[in-house]
Structures are given as C-alpha cells and as structure tokens.
Structure 1
Amino acid sequence: MKTLPTLFFVVLLLVACKGPKQDSPIDAAFSPDAEHLEEINTECFQYLGEKDTVRLTTHVDGTNITGTLDYTIFEKDKNSGTIKGEIRDDMIIAEYTFMSEGDSTRRQVVFKNTEEGWKEGYGEMKSVDGIPVQVNIDSLDYSHNIALTPFPCD
C-alpha cells in the first residue's frame, strides 16, 4: 500500500520534468520570429488643413501593405477604416474598407509618393464585383493640395 503513493509521486515528478515547453503549431504561426518582425515597417502620415484631417498608418511587409486610413473632411461624413493592398514602385494600391453613416463600404485607393508627400489619386472609376476601382491607375490626377507627410506614430 505504501508503494502506491510513492509510485504516484514518481509519475508526477516525471511528468513535471519532461523538458522545456514547446509552442503549439498555432502559437508558432501567430508569433512571428524576430527576423520577420524587423521586416515589417510601420509609418504614420497625415494632412492637417484648416478644417480637414487625413491620417494614414501603414504596416509594410515586403510589397504587402496594411493599415488604417481616416478622413475628417469639413462638412462631409467622417470615414474611418482599414487598407490592404500592395506597393508598386512609388504607389500604394489598396482596398479601403471603411464605415460611413453606419454602413460598411469598400473602394480602391491609390496613393503616390510625390515631392510634397503621399497624395491620393483621383480619376474615373468603375465597379468590379461591387467595389469601385480606378479605370486607369496610370492617368490619375494628383494635382490637389492634400499631401500626407510623416508624423510620429502614437
């Protein structure tokens, strides 16, 4: 009878000393290694006008980009949402998913890195699968004065 508690104690000791805990496959997939974290670059840009504000936060991983985009334009509904897309040359081409007047909406946005800062391009749009996209990205108009310049991220 005395051997039963001793045997239980030995089994408990062996289980407790089985070595370092290994991450589960799920933990490993959602815990990027240090090298990958260094590749992800976060930057913040904004335009501050007299009554208008536009803010863009980007997370760049190679040519992929994600982030947030917020428009507060005087006498217009505030738009706040996320972007997901890619960087091509000096342009950000992304799908912008945002809330406006309580509805979720999507549209394509294109920003070009100019001497003044990142400027959104405007042009003729068409609907593709219900999402407004630019007809010709190469002929967009960037002549407006809203240029997003770097500012410290919060």
Structure 2
Amino acid sequence: MKTQFLLIGAILATIACKGPKEDSPIDAHFSPDSVATAEIREDCFQYVNGNDTIRLRIQPEEVNVSGELAYLFFEKDKSWGTIEGTLRDSLLIAEYTFLSEGDTSTRQVVFKRFEEGWKEGYGDIQELDGVVTYKNIDSLDYGHEVNLVPIPCDQFVSKLE
C-alpha cells in the first residue's frame, strides 16, 4: 500500500514538472497573446464550511501558474493534485491533475479573482482528448457562495485528510 502511494506521488511530481502540454485542449480556449500579467504572488487560499474544505496554493511565474488544489468534502470523494495553467485578466485557467479514490484524472478548472478571494467557475463541460473542459470559459457562473480566502501558506496542508 505504501509503495502504491509513493508511485502515485512520483507520477504526480513528474506531471507537475513537465508544465502545460503544448497540445492541451485547454490551450485552445485562448492564445498567449491575449494573456495579461497579473500582479499576484505565491499565495494560499481556503474555503471552509462545516466539515467541507477546498484548498488552493498558487505559484505564479509571469503568466504561468503552478500549484496544488484539494477538495476535502465530508463523507464524499476527496481529491488532491496539481494545477498547471495560465493567468488571463482575473482568471486562473488550469489543468487539474488529481488523485481521487485511487484513480488519477485530469480536468480543467477556472477560478476568478474577486476582491475577497477566488471563486471557481462552473458551466457546461465537454471531453476533449480525455480531459474534461468547459465549453465556454467566458460564460462560467461564479454566483455561488464558495469563496477561497487568503490563508498563510504555512497553514496549507497539501494532503488528503
């Protein structure tokens, strides 16, 4: 069992080091020419409601962003993984490669920066080359109450609990 976790961790680390794929279906939604450099630094964010938690750590390097994302929902499937993406205006558009229930998957995530923190966008999805993506990033809904607020990064726990 321990060997299996080490293997999965090594796979996730290898994926994180490769950076965004050149032919990623997520890249098809915008060109690098339209990407604006955002003024943010390495930061950690968290949403907590009762026993449910979402954690996000971002490490921007100009317009590229890497980091970690975890969904820790009480009595539901938990997931943890890495994100690799790009900042465009107030949007973080990334591929989320995650482990959940012993399986590794990839899907697109989009977060929008608001004054109080980051909110994840939701909308119609499609599958392109085995990656779940949004059909139209510009029409995502951010009108929910889930808001990831800043926390000190030394409080960020990057494992499934």
Fold similarity call, TM over 0.5: yes
| Structure-1 residue corresponding to 2:97 | 97
The Cα RMSD (Å) is 1.5
Secondary structure (helix, strand or coil) at the match of 2:144 reads coil
Are residue 44 (structure 1) and residue 40 (structure 2) matched?
no
Task: Name the residue aligned to 1:26.
Answer: none
C-alpha distance in 1, partners of 2:100/2:63? 29
Cα distance between partner residues in 2 of 1:53 and 1:89 = 26
What is aligned with 1:131? 131
Structure-2 residue corresponding to 1:6 = none
- Report the alpha carbon displacement of residue 53 of structure 1 after superposing the two structures with TM: 0.5
What amino acid is the match of 1:106? T
- Look at both structures and tell me which one has the larger radius of gyration over its CA atoms: 1
| SS of residue matched to 1:41 | coil
Q: Give the equivalent residue in structure 1 for 2:113.
A: 113
Q: Give the AA of the match of 2:126.
A: K
**In the alignment, which residue of structure 1 is the partner of 2:8?**
none
Counterparts of 1:105 and 1:63, CA distance in 2: 24
Q: For structure 2, list consecutive stretches of 5 or more residues without a partner in the other structure.
A: 1-39, 155-161
- Unpaired runs of 5+ residues, structure 1, are 1-39
Following the alignment from structure 2 to structure 1, what is the Cα–Cα distance between the partners of residues 52 and 98? 18
AA in 1 matched with 2:84: K
Q: How many Å separate the matches in 2 of 1:117 and 1:146?
A: 10
The offset of 1:75, in angstroms, is 2.6
Query: Aligned pairs, how many?
Result: 116
| Distance (whole Å) between structure 2 residues aligned to residue 76 and residue 135 of structure 1 | 26
TM-score w.r.t. length of structure 1? 0.72
- Provide TM-score, normalisation by structure 2: 0.69
Q: Percent identity?
A: 56
SS in 1 for 2:115: coil
Tell me the CA shift for residue 133 of structure 1.
0.3
Q: Distance in 2 between matches of 1:74 and 1:144?
A: 19
1:72 paired to 2:72: yes
2:61 equivalent in structure 1: 61
